[in-house]
Amino acid sequence: MDFSTTVNRDKNGTLLAYICLNVPGINLRKLLKLVYLIDERFVMTRCFPLTWFSYYAWEKGPVASEVYEIKNGGFSDFVCCDKNKEGQNVVSPIRKNDRQSINMDEFSQYEINLIDSVLNEFGHKSADELSDYTHREDSLWTKTVSDKHVVFDDGKSNVAIDLDEMNDDEEKKEIYMEALEYMQICS
């Protein structure tokens, strides 16, 4: 189930650029965490994710491999990635000029407000602080790592994190399944 680069590719690329514009100097690891936290917040409020990225349990937290590929040119029509002096992958939005904003027409006002609330809450935190947050005892990452006995190979694993597990009742699970079916029809 990966609609993130089929049905949602442009919307997700715009989201990545928007995050980079609003969190200047963001490194890839922090971007990975913020995107995950946005999807987590969407599942908590709407029962399904915004991006439909597939997340995996890596040692430093949840990772969407599609976003991780930014360092190798992924989403290059929306963002670019360069190494800074410390060797971190810094991600920046692609814009024609510094005054150009990101066109968020594909997003509802509700979606923008929710994205902004996550950026306001977590955008000032470091990648390490965000990793600590995603590793908290009651997190889905911790549950996945524990329940599936994840063993990391060079910090990575191919164990998926199922965001639908956050839906704690049948009605929420049904909403998720309906959204998933819609995405399958659109792809």
pLDDT, tens only, 66-103: 999 999 999 999 999 999 999 999 999 997 555 567 88
Q: How many domains does the chain have?
A: 1
- The parent domain of residue 82 ranges over 9-186
The answer to the question of residue 72 being in a domain is yes
Torsion-angle region of 80 (φ positive above 0: left; ψ -120 to 50: alpha; else: beta): beta
Instruction: Considering only CA atoms, give the Rg of the chain.
Output: 16
The answer to the question of residue 21 being in a domain is yes
The answer to the question of residue 4 being in a domain is no
Contacts of 27 (CB under 8 A, 6+ apart): 84, 88, 89, 90, 91, 127
- Mean pLDDT of all residues belonging to the chain: 93
Residue type, 177: M
The answer to the question of residue 62 being in a domain is yes
pLDDT at 101: 76
pLDDT at 185: 87
Residue ranges for the chain with pLDDT beneath 50: none
* Alpha carbon separation from 150 to 20, 33, 45, 54, 142 (Å, rounded): 31, 19, 28, 17, 10
